[in-house]
Chains A and B, each alone.
Chain A
Amino acid sequence: MNAHLAKGVGRREFLVGGAAVLAGPLWVPPVFAAAGKPDMVVVKGGAALAPEEAAYQRLKAGTERLGGLATLVKGKPVVIKVNATERSSQDANTSVPAAAALLRLCRECGAAGLTVVGQEWGGFDSPRAGQPTLRQAIAAAGATLTELPHYWVKGGEAAYALCKPQGDVWHELYVAKAILDPSAVVLNLARLKSHPHCVYTGCIKNVIGLTYRMFGFHKIDDAEWPRNQGDPADSDGWHVFPQKLGLAFRDVIGPRIALNILDAGQPTFGWRGPGPERLATFDAHTTIVGTDALAMDVYGCGLLHAQRPDVYLPALGDWSQGPSPYVKGNRSKVNYLVECGKLGVGQTDLKKVAIDELSLA
């Protein structure tokens, strides 16, 4: 078990202030991180199955290895964060098969209620000919979709609570109340993909969609209204992006997540660039489940690098040097996975992570 989880989260300074007062413990017992269980399970296979069935079989096998999803969700309300950021292609969002598989497994495991939540950017309605949208898949599963209000929606802040991570990089971090409800079991279902401005996105970065002022992650004064007016220089905080992301995850959001799931059935390169990169997927037929989001991201980033080592960057490498377009696009000029490791978000040394690798029969 990794050190982060062994320490638990009770020691974290975690304050909820302002008008939003939340009662009760703000962490979920790390059920799946019990002694004798792996930190991460990588399940591969299912190429011969329909995508949704393959995703379901992989997820079921992975969670069973961790103790069974029922131990986590039975009789409890479940809140799921997917990635639905891209309105023009499903390839840049949590896949419909992965979302449908998780909803199905939660139902079978006796979840008391299913809610998909997130501040997203049109991806719930991203089309694909002959296939359902995420919105349709969520509705078909009988789950509720709660689209968190964007920062410009008047009164939208009521859906969020003011939280206080350690340090002073955050002025005001507002996090979705839906995940702070102590009775809810929060599942983080992220798509494995590249990112035009920070190289990689997976479990950790996926939680930005649970915050109110998403722009605040790359803005020094996150409480100040953005006024880019066509001038990206207003995004003046890319250099503090790794620290802001790491602290928000480590101190506030990460402790609320009971299980991370990395959707790597078809990992994605080239979402919105950078530059010459075009959106493209490859078949990996893989699902990764675990409790250490950072370790899972390091593993996932490694999968992308292994697929295109000439173009894509190594998970723990230098993301500021070299000819890769991902280096050019990397706004923070640092490797945010490495920086998150330094902050204690999780484990980056996979030799210290208990990983089970399974293949579907």
Chain B
Amino acid sequence: MSLAWRSAWHVPAWLGALVLILCACRSTLAVPRGPVAAITAAAAASASLRFGRTEEYRGERLYDFMDGAAVTYLDHHCRTLAAADVFRGQDQAKIELYELASAADSAALYAELTGSPGTPFAAGEAGCIWAGFEPEALFRRGRFLVRLLGYAKDREAAAALLADVAAAIDAQLRGR
């Protein structure tokens, strides 16, 4: 075996490893981790739902979205809010997807916001729904917290829409 071959035999192995690393990086980079990306991905994966434009509010810009009410969220280290409207026929829902600094922050904010009795809501790691004039659902997964509101003449239809929107969003939050 020549010296040249002996020194070059491992090149294909290195190239293969490089290809694997690049593929891994590509797949990682292809899945943005933020809340806007989660809503965008949910919209792409949900044929029956029509998503409106997603707005992003980072850091102190949360005040721009909700004025003084933002203090509660900032108390729990809210980093970014992504907000969007979603439609199915005449029915509408609003999505507020909050990314907090940690899962512990999300759990603490969820606990504060769900202090009043509600009905369990099957989404995320914990969820709750309240039957107001417009039903409101709240669930958390990891460092994310999601608030949904439904607008429909029929409250059952609004609740059903919230369940479907929650499933679509929740599917995109897993692993982020």
Contact = CB atoms under 8 A, between A and B. Distances in A.
A353 interface: no
Nearest to B90: A129
B67 A228 contact: no
Interface string A128-166: 111000000000000000000010100000000000000
Nearest to A325: B115
With most chain B CB atoms within 10 A of its CB, the pick from A88, A276, A281 is A88
| A interface secondary structure, majority | loop
Chain B contact patch, size range:
35 or more
A279 B132 contact: yes
Interface stretch (B37-45, B74-82, B168-176): B74-82
Given A228-B59, A281-B133, A129 B151 contact: yes
A231 interface: yes
Interface residues of A, number: 41
Contacts of B90: 129
Contacts of A227: 60
B153 A130 contact: yes
A87 B118 CA distance: 22
Interface in A84-98: 85-89, 91
Contact of B60 (A87, A226, A281): A226
A60 B59 CA distance: 46
A121 interface: yes
A129 B152 contact: yes
A273 B75 CA distance: 14
B68 interface: yes
A261 to B, nearest CB: 22
Q: Which 3 A-B pairs have the closest CB atoms?
A: A276-B115, A228-B60, A272-B69
Interface of A: 85-89, 91, 121-122, 127-130, 150, 152, 196-197, 214-215, 218, 226-232, 234-235, 271-281, 325, 331
